[in-house]
Amino acid sequence: MNIKEWVKEDIGVQRGDVDRAIELTLAKVIRKIDEKIEKLRKIKMSAAYIFTIDTAIAMLEYLKKEIGEESE
């Protein structure tokens, strides 16, 4: 299932509003990812979990990149 079908089914928007709904949804997801990355970076400053946190940050940044490419 592609993103447009998911938005139509899950959110129930009208046909003309699908693209705008997708843009808004993806922008919100990217903001949430950025917030999580910032929280992880703050934890990293004071934690012994540097490798694990670096891995989590890299995975979130990759996800953000993939979402950005999907929305284009």
Three-state secondary structure string covering the chain: CCHHHHHHHHHCCCHHHHHHHHHHHHHHHHHHHHHHHHHHHHHHHCCCCHHHHHHHHHHHHHHHHHHHHHHC
Q: pTM for this structure?
A: 0.54
| The predicted structure's pLDDT at residue 15 | 59
pLDDT along the chain (72 residues), means of 10: 64 65 81 88 70 84 82 56
| The predicted structure's pLDDT at residue 66 | 84
